[in-house]
Structure 1
Amino acid sequence: MTTQDFAAEIEEAFVADDWTTVERAASAWQQGSGESVRDPRPAFALNIVHLLRGEIAQAWTFHAASLAEPEDIERVRAWLNEIRARRGDNGSLHLVMGLFLSQSGQSEESIASFKQAMTLLPASPLPHFFYGQIMERAGRSDMAIKAYREAVRLGPEFTAARTSLGALYQLQGQLEQALPHFREVVKQRPKDAVARAALACALAAQGKFEPALTEYKEAVRLDPTNAELHCGLGKFYEDRGRTELAMQEYRAAVQQDPDFAPGHVAIGWLLLNKRKLNDAMEAFNRALRADPNQGRAYLGIGKIYAAHGKTEVAVENYTKALRLEKDPDAKNRIMNELYMEGTTWDT
């Protein structure tokens, strides 16, 4: 098949809301078009398929191959505009255009496309879900919750919408509203380790520690190679004062992924609190080699230098920590903690 044949088949599948055919044709296009010049369009089509399935990691891989460069963005835009000119008002095409715009730095422009898709696809939860994501990124939590709720109403088994709704409720401290959604996701996908961890986090926030521990352990059992899950369980243990078990999980995290910077930071702080300053310094430095933007690693290093009486170097590291911390509440906690220790300066 030629490039034109693959493009025509995907166009037909877009209009027919046939994502299985889109995936098959785009995969074949990538592998066998025979074109000497790289074409971003099949990767974009696969990006859309994975987004609609809620497979974010896979979608991101194809995003890098289709929407990372300005010339790729323009080629995909021209292709979609040609399809829309031929096909007219079609709900699936509006949905695809909304996803294109939202992933290419044009979130504001994507809103109209998602709203058109809502009108033309009244039974689909997808436009409501992706519109909710735009609203959440814009800080419009009220609008995001409304959109996610509508997505869940239209698609009760749409786990991505339930997870997003639960997470947003939890972020706002509405734990009673969050928990039923996390529980339902686990019920629908009992082998989903990340869903188990999300439920565990919500249970712990509500003070239901035993069921939270059960869910954290099950999450790690289901996906023992996931460094983030080990770190989450470690944090749960640390918050309960069970530092030895916490250290075991943090070490398991970095064993699974030696470049997992948060695990090294967590190890560093446990060691620092035990006054094992040299070991803590090594852990913080490993974290910064993996990710130079780990503010809490700089904070820990600053405390180590302060313990050695090297105030000037300590302050340099404190300043880096504060500059890297984006959360105003976390930044204030750091400032208050340092003030209580007698460290003050202008940042």
Structure 2
Amino acid sequence: MLDREFRHFKTGRERSDAGGQSDNELTAQERAVLGDKLCDEGRVEEAIIHYRKAVQMEGGNAWFRERLGDAYAYSEESAKAVAEYRKAIMLSPRRAEPHFSLGEVYRRHGKLEAAVKCYRKAVYYNPLNTFYRYKLGDALAQVGLIDEAILNLEIAVQISGTDGFYHFWLADLYCLAGRLSDAIIEMQQATIFCPQDAYYNLRLGMLYMRAGFPQDAIAAYETAVRLKPSDPAYHAVLADAYSAVGRVEDAAKHYSMAAKMDSYDAVNLDRFRRQASAEGK
């Protein structure tokens, strides 16, 4: 699918942005390129017009079909997107991208098993694409195939070993599988390669707490709080870790900070109540 986000736009009449060239003189390739430009600008419905004309001119071009499917997918015309992706696959069955894009549409509509089949084909035809493996692994985990999910993320980590994103998701799968030590190792790698990611540090702290290492959790949580000081939940979990090692004053300080930031946060309400009770004594 298109690697872009499209803004909301007002539908207008068809217009040509081909540098003064007459609309009728555009080749199919030029129309497809113009469609890409319009999509980049958020003018998806106008892009669809040009992609459709490119397809009318060269109906056997799988790439044009795929781009039209992408535009339909982003305009939430899923049935039309599926039809174009299937046509693209029929024309060029060994191209990975339309399989992947078809899987994305299926997943969006909750058809996880159909999505898994498409993701598997995408990975088969492009085994070095780590993002395809991540999406396959995530879908596999959701349908209960955790071992196959882990295998795909392990391969993704082997391919892109310095990308913290894949270490993070592999850690998440290890945690689901009950492999806590492996999860900690991968989450550590995620924080090494993405040291400024507050959430990765938060999750590392949670794993340490689960494993019974509150001192290590404190270090991870303190980093998370330093990176994202305005989040009350981060202060609350740091306070929990301080409480676990008997650092009562430090815990009270961060419970209080969390309460002042968002005293109506239901997730932390019990912590805030404990803090209020302690202050009232």
Pair in the same fold by TM > 0.5: yes
Partner of 2:45: 108
Equivalent residues in 2 for 1:296-311 (5 A)?
Answer: 298-305=232-239, 308-309=251-252
Which of 210, 224, 230 is the aligned partner of 1:284? 224
> CA–CA distance in 2 between the matches of 1:167 and 1:262?
26
Relative to 1, partners in 2 of residues 1:114 and 1:78: Cα closer, same or farther, differing over 3 Å? closer
Whether the 8 Å contact between 1:299 and 1:317 is mirrored in structure 2 is: no
**What letter corresponds to residue 301 of structure 1 in structure 2?**
H
Gap runs ≥5 in structure 2: 5-14, 244-250, 274-281
Q: What is the CA distance between 1:217 and its match in structure 2?
A: 1.6
Whether the 8 Å contact between 1:230 and 1:250 is mirrored in structure 2 is: yes
> CA–CA distance in 2 between the matches of 1:184 and 1:195?
10
Relative to 1, partners in 2 of residues 1:79 and 1:145: Cα closer, same or farther, differing over 3 Å? closer
Which of 18, 23, 35 is the aligned partner of 1:80? 18
Relative to 1, partners in 2 of residues 1:121 and 1:288: Cα closer, same or farther, differing over 3 Å? farther
Partner of 1:221: 158
Relative to 1, partners in 2 of residues 1:131 and 1:287: Cα closer, same or farther, differing over 3 Å? farther
Whether the 8 Å contact between 1:299 and 1:318 is mirrored in structure 2 is: no
Runs of 4+ aligned residues of structure 1 deviating over 6 Å after TM superposition are none
Partner of 1:255: 192
Which of 258, 265, 272 is the aligned partner of 1:314? 258
**What letter corresponds to residue 19 of structure 2 in structure 1?**
N
> CA–CA distance in 1 between the matches of 2:80 and 2:162?
37
Determine if the alignment matches structure 1 residue 168 to structure 2 residue 105: yes
> CA–CA distance in 2 between the matches of 1:100 and 1:264?
39
> CA–CA distance in 2 between the matches of 1:271 and 1:279?
10
Which of 55, 60, 65 is the aligned partner of 1:118? 55
Q: What is the CA distance between 1:146 and its match in structure 2?
A: 3.2
- Which stretch shifts more, 233-242 or 275-284? 275-284
> CA–CA distance in 1 between the matches of 2:237 and 2:262?
8
Which of 64, 67, 90 is the aligned partner of 1:127? 64
Q: Size of the alignment, in residue pairs?
A: 250
Higher relative contact order, structure no. (Cα contacts within 8 Å, ≥ 6 residues apart) = 2
RMSD: 3.5
Whether the 8 Å contact between 2:146 and 2:177 is mirrored in structure 1 is: no
Q: What is the CA distance between 1:93 and its match in structure 2?
A: 1.2
> CA–CA distance in 2 between the matches of 1:266 and 1:244?
14
**What letter corresponds to residue 85 of structure 1 in structure 2?**
S
TM-score, length basis structure 2: 0.73
TM-score, length basis structure 1: 0.60
Whether the 8 Å contact between 1:264 and 1:286 is mirrored in structure 2 is: no
Q: What is the CA distance between 1:79 and its match in structure 2?
A: 7.1
SS at match of 2:228: helix
Relative to 1, partners in 2 of residues 1:169 and 1:316: Cα closer, same or farther, differing over 3 Å? farther
> CA–CA distance in 2 between the matches of 1:272 and 1:194?
30
Relative to 1, partners in 2 of residues 1:302 and 1:109: Cα closer, same or farther, differing over 3 Å? farther
Cα displacement string for residues 12-68 of structure 1 (whole angstroms, at most 9, x for unaligned residues): xxxxxxxxxxxxxxxxxxxxxxxxxxxxxxxxxxxxxxx9xx8x6xxx9xxxxxxxx
Equivalent residues in 2 for 1:1-347 (5 A)?
Answer: 80-82=18-20, 84-85=21-22, 88-271=25-208, 273=210, 276=214, 278-285=218-225, 287-288=227-228, 298-305=232-239, 308-309=251-252, 313-315=257-259, 317-318=261-262, 337-338=267-268, 341=270
> CA–CA distance in 2 between the matches of 1:107 and 1:138?
7
Q: What is the CA distance between 1:226 and its match in structure 2?
A: 2.0
SS at match of 1:237: helix
